[in-house]
A and B are shown apart, each in its own frame.
Chain A
Amino acid sequence: MIEVAGFSKSYGDTAAVTDLSFEVRPGEIVGLVGPNGAGKTSTLRAIAGILKPEAGTLRVAGHDVVRDAVAAKRELAYVPDTPHPFDLLTVTEHLRFAALAYRVEVDEARIEALLREMELFEKRDDLGSTLSRGMQQKLAIACAFLHAPKAVLLDEPLTGLDPRAIRDMRASIVARARAGAAVLLSSHLLELVERLCDRVLILHRGRRLAFGTLEEIRAAVAAEGSASLEEVFLAVTDPARQAPDAPSPDAKPS
């Protein structure tokens, strides 16, 4: 559902992402992890059709995001790391706007259900400018889920949420994946990624260091069977392992 092949992107002389390839299947949640500046946000933005790739192809639900951008965007939802709602739209109006933008019926019952799911119902008539950081995050995710996208891109979706909201949001993300969406989720919360994601893609300095299930990556780095994602991540991104002749821990996709 999300296919990335040979994607490269640079800013001036700095390479942000180099020759990155992976795919996210329908119903699957893939965790995108890496240190700051690893190229996670650039990758998500390129798939969302906001950044122009220098090389490679990116496809969403079979549509090329460069050549057939509008069709690709219609099938996906992207939630940035710090969403900014419209100051002068109420919470409900954000959802109505999303319904119009993605050409789905403006179904007030569905909007209400989403608002309740995201615990935003009490705030439905509040303007975007009055919402807290966590509420803004929930609103952006509610807008993203409204049109039942086939591909969901979430950049640090749980930042600013309280523990209960994190638990509920986790359930919401899993529910979308079970409904058939391909979910690509970037996060620094490795414990969350470990619990939530079917496969993990580790990026470092714009390059793919590892991609596969946690077991596959563990095996590739010769880690213990009980090693957590955090331990595996630290082992994979260890500077000693970054030497040019060091063996790649990349796991073959199952």
Chain B
Amino acid sequence: MTHPLVYLYVTTARNGVRRFFARLRQPRRLVALVVTLGFVAFVAFGATRESSGFADATVDPAAVLRAYFGLMLVLAPLSGFAERGLTFSLAEVDFLFPGPFRARSLVLYHLARALPALMFGAALPLLLLGGRVPRPGIVWLGCALVSLIAQHLRVTASLFALHVGEPLYRRLRGPVRFVSVVGALVLVAVLASMVTDHGGLRGVLAGASDAPVARILLWPAVVVGDLATPDAPGGVAGPVLGLLAVALASLVPPLLLQVGFLEASITLSAKAAEIRQRLQRGRGVAAAAAVGSDRRVRAARAPTARLWRGAGAIAWKNALMARRSTRTIFFAAVMLLILFVPGLVTADASPALPLMMGALFPLFLAGSLPFDFRGETGHFAALKALPLPRWAVAAAEIVVPTAIVLGFQAIYGLAIAIAGGVAFGWVLLGWIALVPLTASMIAATNIATLAGSRGMGVLLLHLLFYAANAVLLAMVVGVVRAVGGGPGAVTAVLVLVQSGVLVGMVALLGIAFGSVDAAEDAPP
């Protein structure tokens, strides 16, 4: 008789593949797939083309892989310990937890279920490194085995955390979480540095991971790095077999730990499901992860100014939500720092570059600031019943995220001006020009979300709008300069044109809001 968990695994995978291809019959999804593949190929091809020869390249793939996987091996048990329990889907909780399964079978199933994502994740650094990696197939296998070891360490730590007494666990949880979050952000920075060639942290981490102690403790990561060197000092077969042996050995502790994890996993799984749902509804990682806050807040007084009446009330409500989401906004700021500062500090940037990068803020921040239509899931029927025109609701919804992004852009501009890179007057002029552009981009994100796009789809539509908008503005600048307009005239015309675009985007957003079927709007 087939083992039920094997049946479940195989049937789910088969149906998943079938559904994927069946959905491609929809033109929207087919286009999204083609664009996504094109984007991936562009990233991979771009990374390949930049390397004029392995020896001359500024990026050393071996050092990057050692640093990346070394960090992963350190972080895996820490994040596992902080998590305490295993994450399952809600269906698995409902059908497997009360089912006649041994705990060991469920742990194995949990690990097996993570395999496809793990294999894909192992390919990500190789994709970003492009053609700089020799023997990509072997290196990918090495990366996959190290990821597997990290996953086993993570699960072992999660189960071990359930063994630890409650008082001790509560004392340890805070510091462990802090280190995990900081480490995860550094990991993102390492990934970002792979594509920018200007990562400040990469060199430090590469040096640390090459230290003798690290070479022993983080041996699997060192092996992957060695595999990615042209001469592969230890050969290929031996290290790969060694990694396989470690991966199998690391599977033993989670299977031997006899611990009741079902109870802890129910809460964890429910929280994970909520985060997944929020991500699918177009929220960024930081915003999606900010669930389950049970702190008490004091009720805010209703504002008396007329500005906050009618549609203004929606903006007031969103502002309250933002004020109570300081952690989400803080994470967004940290992500921004990691993504933008290393590149700017080390690049020989032209004065225009920082301003252009400031214009990109909405692209990276929009997902982290869901204080607009994306925070209204489950409330659309009530929103539609309000005695307000659609365009007014649309305009009010984008006010808060726009204001926050403009705030970030102002701080960024001030930092650039103080550092002496760009004159203060230029920064101010640039910031004024960014006001309608930022609002238009937030509107574009909302339109994409209301149109039913999720995750990558929202990002691609956002990029598409950004590109089209950039072409339009470039044409306008060209025309103004051709008729002899100076910088002041260029800025004035840009603001005027972009304001026109913004009016159009708000009108479109109003139409998109009107077309949302409130009956299908599931509660959050």
The reply to whether A70 and B263 form a contact with Cβ atoms under 8 Å apart is no
Among B7, B19, B262, the residue within 8 A (CB) of A127 is B19
Per the CB 8 Å criterion, the residue count for chain B at the interface is 28
* A51-B100 in contact given A80-B94, A89-B15, A100-B2 (Cβ < 8 Å): no
The reply to whether B98 and A102 form a contact with Cβ atoms under 8 Å apart is no
* A78-B98 in contact given A127-B19, A128-B91 (Cβ < 8 Å): yes
Chain A 62-86, CB-CB to B under 8 Å as 1, else 0, gives: 0000000011011011101001111
Chain B 168-204, CB-CB to A under 8 Å as 1, else 0, gives: 0000000000000000000000000000000000000
Is A227 on the interface with B (CB-CB < 8 A)? no
Is A50 on the interface with B (CB-CB < 8 A)? yes
Q: Enumerate chain A residues within 8 angstroms of B12, measured Cβ to Cβ.
A: 86, 88-89
Q: Enumerate chain A residues within 8 angstroms of B98, measured Cβ to Cβ.
A: 48-50, 73, 76-78
The reply to whether A140 and B4 form a contact with Cβ atoms under 8 Å apart is no
The reply to whether B91 and A96 form a contact with Cβ atoms under 8 Å apart is no
Is A252 on the interface with B (CB-CB < 8 A)? no
Is B484 on the interface with A (CB-CB < 8 A)? no
The reply to whether B4 and A97 form a contact with Cβ atoms under 8 Å apart is yes
Is B295 on the interface with A (CB-CB < 8 A)? no
Is A101 on the interface with B (CB-CB < 8 A)? yes
Kindly report which residue of chain B lies nearest to residue A90, judged by CB atoms: B15
The reply to whether A97 and B97 form a contact with Cβ atoms under 8 Å apart is no
Q: Enumerate chain B residues within 8 angstroms of A102, measured Cβ to Cβ.
A: 99-100
Kindly report which residue of chain B lies nearest to residue A105, judged by CB atoms: B1
Q: Enumerate chain A residues within 8 angstroms of B101, measured Cβ to Cβ.
A: 70, 73, 101
Known: A86-B8, A93-B15, A97-B7. 11 other contacts (CB 8 A): A49-B262, A52-B263, A77-B98, A80-B94, A84-B93, A85-B91, A89-B15, A93-B11, A97-B8, A98-B95, A101-B95
List residues of chain A with CB under 8 Å of any chain B CB.
48-52, 70-71, 73-74, 76-78, 80, 83-90, 93-94, 96-98, 100-103, 127-128, 140, 143
User: Looking at B12, B89, B93, B94, which has the most chain A CB atoms within 10 Å of its CB?
Assistant: B94
Q: Enumerate chain B residues within 8 angstroms of A143, measured Cβ to Cβ.
A: 95
A-B contact pairs, 11 of them (CB 8 A): A51-B262, A84-B89, A85-B91, A86-B12, A89-B12, A97-B4, A97-B7, A100-B1, A101-B100, A103-B100, A127-B19
Chain A min CB distance to B242 (Å): 36
* A84-B90 in contact given A100-B1, A143-B95 (Cβ < 8 Å): yes
Chain B min CB distance to A59 (Å): 16
The reply to whether A101 and B99 form a contact with Cβ atoms under 8 Å apart is yes
User: Looking at B2, B19, B98, B260, which has the most chain A CB atoms within 10 Å of its CB?
Assistant: B98
Kindly report which residue of chain B lies nearest to residue A77, judged by CB atoms: B98
Chain B min CB distance to A182 (Å): 16
Chain B min CB distance to A193 (Å): 22
How far apart sit A90 and B8, CA to CA, in the bound complex (Å)?
A: 11
* A50-B262 in contact given A70-B101, A85-B91, A127-B15 (Cβ < 8 Å): yes
How far apart sit A127 and B4, CA to CA, in the bound complex (Å)?
A: 18
Q: Enumerate chain B residues within 8 angstroms of A84, measured Cβ to Cβ.
A: 89-91, 93-94
| CB neighbors of A among B249-293 (8 A) | 260, 262-263, 266
Is B102 on the interface with A (CB-CB < 8 A)? yes
Is B296 on the interface with A (CB-CB < 8 A)? no
| CB neighbors of A among B1-17 (8 A) | 1-4, 7-8, 11-12, 15-16
Q: Enumerate chain B residues within 8 angstroms of A73, measured Cβ to Cβ.
A: 98-101
The reply to whether A51 and B263 form a contact with Cβ atoms under 8 Å apart is yes
Chain A min CB distance to B102 (Å): 6
How far apart sit A50 and B92, CA to CA, in the bound complex (Å)?
A: 12
Chain A min CB distance to B193 (Å): 37
